[in-house]
Structure 1
C-alpha cells in the first residue's frame, strides 16, 4: 500500500540495504514537537511510570525503618569479617532510621524481609502478557491508568497490612505487582498508535525513563520521609501521589490521536498517515506460532533477560555492597545508591533523541541503530562492572564505576528495549508483555546467585558476582548482533483492511 499524502508509512519503510540518501519523510511538514499532544502524552506518561517505579522500590528503603534491626546476624560458628577498614565513627553506621514516637517496628528476620521484598515480582510476572494482549485490543490508556491507580491505592494500605502481619503484607505486595504488571505493556500499546516511526526512540525513551527517575527520587526521599515523619508516611504520600496522577490521566488522555479532543488536525493527520494500518489494534487473534518461531523476537527476549540480569544484580547488590563491604552509613548509602539511576535517566533519554536523529537523517538504518545502542548498553556496563570488582576499598572509584555502569547501560533503551515496536508495531504491547515477563526472571534468580557467591562477605565472592554479570552481558551483545533486526516481520505486516498474513491463512483454513 502506498503511503497516503506522500508520508512515510512503516509498511513501506526502506530496507536496511537501501542506498537512498534522502530523509525518510519527504514532502510532509512535521508538526511542532514542543507542546504537541504526543509529547504532552510522553511527559504525563513519564510521571506515571515514575510514580509506579517509586512505589516499587520504596519498600526496600523503608524496610530499614520498619524492622527493629536490619543487620545480618552471624551464625553460631561464624563472625563478620570486615574486608575493608571501618571508617572513623563506624559505631553509628548500623543504626536504623530514627522514628517518631509511636511509630511501630517489627521483629522480621532477614528471611522474612527477603520474602516481602520479592513478593512484588510474584504478581508482576502474572499480568504482563494478558495486560499487553488486552491493551492491544482495547487500547492502553485504561490499563495504564488503572494499573497505576490500583498500585497506588494498595500502597496506602501498606501500614495496615504490616500491622496485621507479614503474610498480609506479602499478599498486598503481590497484588501491587499484579497492578503494575500491565503498565509497561499498556504504554507500548499506546505508542503503537501515537508514535510516528521517526519519533519512536525519543517518545518511548522519554516516557519509559520515568522508571529511572522514579527510582532516583524514591531512594533518598523515602529515607528523608522515614526520618522526618515516620515510615507509614512514605506509603501514604506515595500512594496519594499515584491516585492524583490517575485522575489527571483519565481526564487528559485518549487511546488514539483520532479521538483526542485537543490535538490539532495537522498533528493528527501526521501521526495517522505515518503509521498507516500499523497504528490500529491487533484484534483478538495473534500469530502465536509465528511469534514463537521468530528469531528476531527471541533475540530481543534473550538480550533483555541478560541485560536485566546486570540491572537486578546492581539493584539488589549496590546498597548491600556499599554497606557490608565499604561501610557507608545509611544516609550516604541511600543518596549514593540513587546516583546510578540519575545517570541512567539522563543518558537513556538523550540517546533516544540521538537514535531518532540518526534514523531520520538516514545516517544508519533502524537495524544498525538498534544494534549500535544495544552493544554500547551491554559491553560498556560489563567493563565497568569488572572495574568495580577491582576497585578494592576505594569509595570514590566504586561509586564512579557503578554510576558509569548504569549510565552506559541506559543506552540500550534506544536499542533492544524498544525493538518490539520495530518488528511488530501492531503487537508491540503484547510482545513487550512477553519480553518483560522473561526479563523479570533474572529479578528472581540474580539475587539468589549473588547471595550464594557472597555468603562469606568476601571481596572474592563479590568479584564472582560481577564477572558473571559481565559475561552474561557480553554473550547477549554477541547474540543480538547476530540475530537482531529493526525490520517489520512478515507475520506483523497488515494490508489495507488491517489483516496480517496470519489472519488470511486462518480464514483460508476455516473456509
Structure 2
C-alpha cells in the first residue's frame, strides 16, 4: 500500500496537459480528437477539491520518473541485513518495524511535496531503504512454520502485496475525488499503523513461541520440517550460496518477473491517463483489478502445486518450473499483446489484467523455490535475491521517463512494454533449462547424503517419519530430557 500509493496519487499531483495550451501538442495521438475542455472535465468529473490547481505541481516526465523510482534506488541496502537480522532477532520485530516506519514516512509526503520534488525523492529513498528489510525477513518465518509440501499455499500470502495494490488504486482514486490527493498518504499511513498493532499482538516467530497454539499442531509442524531447519544455524556459506546455479536461476526468474510487474504496477495509472484519457477514478479501478486477479491466480496455482507434490504427480523442481513458466513466459505473451494494443482501450485492459494475473504464479515458482533450496538460510537467500532484483524498480521508471519525455504516444509506450516482454522471455527460458528446487548441500553440512536424497524425493513422508522417529531417541543434553 505504501509502495504504490504515490503511483496513483501522482496522476492528481501533476498539472494536466489539458490546463496548459502550450503542451497540448504533446498529448498522445490516441487523444488527438479529445478537446482540452473534455480532458479537463474528465480530470475533475465528480470532484470537489481536485479543481484546486494550486495543489498541483509542474513536474515533467523525468522528474516524475525520479519520484516513482526513488523508492527502489537503495531498496537493496537492507535486503541481506534484513534476512540476517530476522535470523537473530526474529521476523516479528524486523518485518513489523520495517513496514510501520515506512507507513509513518508515507504520511510526510504531502509536506515534502510542498517543498519541492527533490524532497519527495529523498523521502521515498528513505522509505525504500527501511522497508527493504521486510521481504527477506519473511522467509525466515516461513522456513520455521511451513512444512515443505505446504509452502506454495503459504508463500501465496506474500501476494498480500497485490491485495494492497488492488485495494489502494481504486481506494485512492475515490479519496482523490472526495478529499484531494494528500488524503491518500494520511489514510494509508493510518491503515498501516492499524496493521502494525494487529501484527504485534497476533504474530509469533516460531510455533514454540506461540502461546495459543495447540500442542498437536506444534508437534505436526516441527516434525514435518524434519532436518531442513535446524535450531542452531550453521555459519552462512556465502561462497556456496553465491556460486549456486539454482540460486541464480531463481534470481533471473525474479528479475524478469519483477521488471514486468513493476513496470505495469508503477506506470499503469500514467499510461491509462495519457494514452487512453481516463480520469483518476477510472484509472484507479483499472489499475487495481489486475492485482486482485493476481491473488486469485496465485491461490489457484499454489493449490495445484501442493496437490501435485502430495500425490507425487510432479517433482518439486517440475512444480516450480510449471509455475515459473506461467509467471514469466505466459506473462510475457500478454505484455506483448499490451505493446501492440495501440489505442484499443479494451485490448489494453484485457492484456494488462492477464499479464499481472500470470505474475501471481511467482509464489509457487521462484519464491517458494528459494525456501526449498536452502531453508536454513531462507532469509539470507531472499535478501541476496532482492538486493539484485530490486534494480528493475528504479531502472524501469528511468527508461519510461526517457522514452515518454514530452512524447506521450502509443508508439513510445509500445517500446516500454516490448522491453518488459523481452525480460520475461529470457528469464523464463533460463529457468526452464537450468533450475532445480532440490535442497542444496550448502543448506546444512550436517545432513547425511542419504537423508538429503530423502528430502529431495517427490513425497518423502514415510522416510521422513522414520528419520524423525530415529531422531527422537537422541537425548537433549541441554535440558537433560529424552
- TM norm structure 2: 0.85
The 3 A distance-change label for structure 1 pair 195 and 55 is: same
> Which of residues 472, 476, 488 in structure 1 aligns to 2:423?
472
* Matched ranges for 1:358-437 at <5 A: 358-437=308-387
Report the alpha carbon displacement of residue 240 of structure 1 after superposing the two structures with TM. Answer: 1.4
Using the alignment, how far apart are the partners of 2:388 and 2:22 within structure 1? 36
Which range is displaced more, 386-395 or 288-297?
A: 386-395
Larger displacement relative to structure 2 (98-107 or 129-138):
98-107
**Is 1:488 matched with 2:439?**
yes
Is 1:62 matched with 2:25? no
- Sort the Cα spacing of 1:79 and 1:405 in 2 relative to 1 into closer, same or farther, 3 A: closer
Structure 1 residues 81 and 300: alpha-carbon distance in aligned structure 2, compared to 1, 3 A threshold: closer
Q: Which runs of 5+ in 1 are unaligned?
A: 1-53, 502-511
Q: Give how far 1:281 is off.
A: 5.8
The alpha-carbon distance between structure 1 residues 200 and 319, as it changes in their structure 2 partners (threshold 3 A), is same
Where in structure 2 are the equivalents of 1:180-259 lying within 5 Å?
180-205=131-156, 207-259=157-209
Distance across 1 between alignment mates of 2:201 and 2:194: 11
**Distance change in 2, residues 1:462/1:114 (3 Å):** closer
Equivalent residue for 2:92, pick from 130, 141, 147: 141
Displacement, 1:314?
1.6
Q: Tell me, in whole angstroms, the C-alpha distance in 2 between the residues paired with 1:87 and 1:397.
A: 20
Take 2:106 and 2:9, find their aligned partners in 1: how far apart are those partners? 13
- How many residues are matched? 445
Pairing of 1:7-22 with structure 2 (within 5 A)? none
For residue 390 of structure 2, give the secondary structure of its aligned residue in structure 1.
helix
Specify which of 90, 107, 110 is matched with residue 57 of structure 2: 107
Could you report, residue by residue, the CA deviation over 1:157-200 in whole angstroms, capped at 9, with x for unpaired residues? Answer: 33333334434333322222122111111111100100111110
Out of 249, 256, 272, the residue aligned to residue 306 of structure 1 is: 256
Give yes or no for contact 1:99–1:231 (8 Å, CA) kept in 2: no
Match of 1:151 among 72, 79, 102: 102
Match of 2:471 in 1: none
Shift of 1:134: 1.4
- More displaced 10-residue stretch of structure 1: 97-106 or 129-138: 97-106
Q: Distance in 2 between matches of 1:79 and 1:244?
A: 43
What TM-score, normalized by structure 1, do the two folds share? 0.80
Contact 1:103 1:230 in 2 (8 A): no
CA distance in 2, matches of 1:479, 1:464: 23
Map of 2:43 onto structure 1: 95
* Contact persistence 2:324–2:365 (CA under 8 A): yes
Residue 444 of structure 1 is matched in structure 2 by 394
Question: Do the aligned residues in 2 keep the contact of 1:280 with 1:426 (CA within 8 Å)?
Answer: yes
Cα 1:281–1:161, aligned 2, differ >3 Å: closer, same or farther? Answer: farther
Which of 303, 324, 345 in structure 2 is aligned with 1:353?
Answer: 303
Unpaired runs of 5+ residues, structure 2, are 453-482
Q: Give the drift of 1:217.
A: 0.6
Distance 2:21 2:233 in 1: 57
- 1:69 deviation in Å? 4.2
Q: Note the alpha carbon deviations across 1:195-221, whole angstroms, 9 max, x for none.
A: 11111000111x201100100110111
2:4 and 2:234 map into 1 onto residues whose CA distance is: 35
Report the CA distance shift for 1:280/1:228 in structure 2 as closer, same or farther (over 3 A): farther
Report the equivalent of 2:244. Answer: 294
Cα distance in structure 2, aligned partners of 1:148 and 1:58:
14
The answer (yes or no) to whether the contact 2:12–2:280 under 8 Å persists in 1 is: no
SS in 2 for 1:236: helix
**Is 1:278 aligned to residue 228 of structure 2?**
yes
Hey, what does 2:29 align to over in structure 1? 82
Task: Report if the CA contact (8 A) 2:153-2:302 is conserved.
Answer: yes
Counterpart contact for 1:71–1:94, Cα < 8 Å: no
2:117 and 2:414 mapped to 1: Cα distance?
Answer: 34
- Residue 28 of structure 2 contacts residue 274 of structure 2 at CA under 8 Å; is this kept in 1? no
Q: Using the TM superposition, name which of 263-272 and 405-414 deviates more.
A: 405-414
* Alignment RMSD (CA, Å): 2.8
Pair 1:374–1:74, CA change in 2 (3 A)? farther
How far does the alpha carbon of each residue in 1:447-493 deviate from its partner, in whole angstroms, 9 at most, with x for none?
23334444543433333333322222221111111111110000113
Segment of structure 1 superposing worse, 434-443 or 71-80: 71-80
